[in-house]
């Protein structure tokens, strides 16, 4: 039985650049590093950055969304805005900011959780989403 997310590993072509991005811009804590990788944490999230020669980001909607408190969202988006490329405009029910990391991995900052999303769809059955439970 799966009990949750254990860790996420992202490939990077420049380890120092990626560590600086996640630590300095997103506020992750550097927990360990070695010549070809690093471990960072934010809350319960464990992120592994591993050095590779090339990264091939996906061309679809696959991405990682990070939870952000509503009060911290505007300042974090402002801090990121001049340092990242935006890959999608927000069309979700809550505040979201969609951006790329230095190697083109698709990331999102999002306010709210699954219950907010389900409540939105319960209130808007015209969206065509079936909500269970």
Distance CA 89, CA 106 (A): 13
| Residue (of 112, 110, 107, 111) closest to 21 by Cα position | 107
Active-site residue among 78, 85, 93, 108? 108
**CB 106, CB 97: distance < 8 Å:** no
DSSP string, 28-52: -EEEEEETTEEEEEETTEEEEEEE-
Q: How far is CA 50 from the centre of its chain?
A: 17
Active site residue 108: yes
Query: How is the beta sheet containing 8-12 ordered, strand by strand?
Result: 8-12, 45-51, 37-42, 29-34
Active site residues: 108
């Amino acid at each position: 039985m799966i009990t949750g997310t254990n860790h996420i590993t992202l490939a990077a072509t420049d380890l120092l650049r990626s560590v600086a991005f996640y630590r300095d811009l997103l506020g992750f804590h550097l927990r360990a590093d070695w010549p070809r990788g690093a471990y960072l944490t934010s809350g319960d999230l464990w992120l592994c950055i591993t050095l590779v020669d090339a990264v091939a980001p996906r061309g679809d909607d696959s991405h990682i969304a990070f939870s952000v408190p509503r009060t911290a969202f505007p300042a974090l988006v402002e801090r990121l805005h001049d340092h990242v490329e935006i890959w999608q405009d927000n069309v979700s029910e809550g505040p979201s900011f969609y951006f790329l990391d230095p190697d083109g991995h698709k990331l999102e900052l999002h306010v709210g959780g699954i219950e907010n999303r389900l409540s939105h769809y319960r209130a808007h059955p015209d969206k065509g989403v079936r909500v269970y439970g």
